[in-house]
Amino acid sequence: MASSKIDKIKKSFQFFTEKEKNGELFSFSDIVKYTGWAEGTVKTYPTKKWDKFLIKKGKQFLVNGIRNFSEDEYVRMMSQADRLSNDPKKPDLPLEVERMVTKARESAILALDIYNRPATTFRTEGFTVMMIIAWTALFHAIFEQRSIIYFYLEDDGSPKLVDGDEKAWELSNCIDVYYNGTTNPIRKNLEFFIGLRNKIEHRYVPAFDPHVAGECQALLLNFDELLVDKFGEYYALRESLTVPLQTVAIRSESQTLAMKKFQGKQYEDLKEYIEIFRSELTDAIYQDPKFSFRVYMIPKIGNHASTSDIAFEFVKYDPNKPSDNEALQKQVALIREKQVPVVNPGRFKPSEVAKIVSQKIGRLFTVPIHTSSWKYYKIRESGEHPESCNIRFCQFDQVHRDYIYTQEWIDFLTKKLSEESEYEKVHSFRG
């Protein structure tokens, strides 16, 4: 649109905004005088453009609803181009950017649909694959908007082709460029899912769904936040997000146990990947909700009908407001069950054992080396065989369906692996 026409459109927006604010009646001639439009032009707009907010009162008009539009949205609504005027709240993006943003958003909605279907057993796997596509498309949209080339190039500078198409950056390369060498919880969450996608590509392991639910929620919320930050509220997923209805447990204990046995080594391999990745994170990143979103489901009691409309409410933690966090912690404390007696006192998860032993012996001691250790010293068998445990060193946790280890095991490892020759034997043992 010509600049003079846009100026008149913006003047009309200012006129309507002022009239709505003051609740004033006005006529066509008032609009003509304020904007400089011809009266014939003004008379064509009430039914074509202004019907969304203009109310006729005899021979005059009132405004009701112009406050629902920003100036930019109003300008788009006044455009002669249907693409802009039919959906004025939609940001005016370059066509290729818009395509990428739409692909990103639709992929995320499909991921959410897969995850929330009650009958789906390929839940986290399907969600992960579609969210990888969503994040990749989102980064491509950002790079396209910034005029950053996000395709691989040959040595001569020409695009690298695969099956006749230009080869675009995969998610890992997008992350490297976007975060430019910095590490943060959002990046670590993405790296976690890239590794997870590579692991599940040739596996079928739905029994691990509950283990990564927090990371899945963080992946989705981080996506929505970046999408809105870069391309506006119009594309937000928030209106599509709901709290899925669940029974007390997603699966019964017997179903979960049968599934783990069926999945066998695939389940153990995937669980080991998860434990290793988490054990290598700093406490700050591991505890950050942008890496893994963990919530308490607090019963919300309303004393009046007007205070109990929302059954669930997510309260966002702001690290810049520690007093708010303290208040939330007090509320959480009120609903915690008494932990008397304490379950599994003095028992340690593999990642905790690895961290403590590494510090004590002054050598690298990771979860995979810990796995080699219990195999080398034959303190238990692989899989779920509680009867195989040497109870001095380990026990089977019936509730969580995994193994926990004793302080005596930590002391044993510390003593044994302080000797370099013994450490090398264990480190190279595969069993």
Tens digits of per-residue pLDDT, 169-188?
A: 999 999 999 999 899 999 99
Tokens coding 87 = 């959906």
Is the pLDDT assigned to residue 210 strictly greater than 80?
Answer: no
What whole-number distance in Å separates Cα of residue 249 and Cα of residue 79?
Answer: 53
Domain 3-85, CATH class in plain words: mainly alpha
Can you read off the two tokens belonging to residue 166? 């230009």
Phi and psi angles of residue 166, each rounded to the nearest 5 degrees, phi first:
-65, 135
Would you state the pLDDT for residue 272? 80
CB 90 within 8 Å of CB 234: yes
What share of residues in the chain are helix, strand, coil (percent, to 5)?
Answer: 60, 5, 35
pLDDT of residue 89: 86
- Choose the weakest-confidence range: 22-26, 137-141, 424-428: 424-428
198 compared with 138, residue with greater pLDDT: 138
pLDDT on residue 310: 46
pLDDT band at 296 (very low <50, low <70, confident <90, very high): low
Least confidently predicted of 25-29, 62-66, 303-307, 424-428: 303-307
What is the reported pLDDT for 383?
82
Residue 251 pLDDT level (bands cut at 50, 70, 90): very low
The mean pLDDT value for 349-370 works out to 92
Domain with CATH 1.10.10 in the chain: 3-85
Predicted confidence (pLDDT) at residue 58 exceeds the cutoff of 50: yes
CA distance 321 to 313: 19
Most confident of 66-70, 104-108, 239-243, 278-282: 104-108
Q: Is the pLDDT of residue 327 over 70?
A: no
pLDDT at residue 249, rounded to an integer: 42
Alpha helices, H only, 232-313: 253-263, 265-279, 283-287
Q: Which of 25-39, 303-317, 396-410 has the lowest mean pLDDT?
A: 303-317
Are the C-beta atoms of residues 107 and 115 closer than 8 Å to each other? no
Is the pLDDT at 289 greater than 60? The verdict is: yes
Mean pLDDT of the chain: 83
Instruction: Tell me how far CA of residue 404 lies from CA of 110, 311, 393, 417, 427, in angstroms.
Output: 38, 37, 9, 20, 21
pLDDT of 137 over the 70 cut = yes
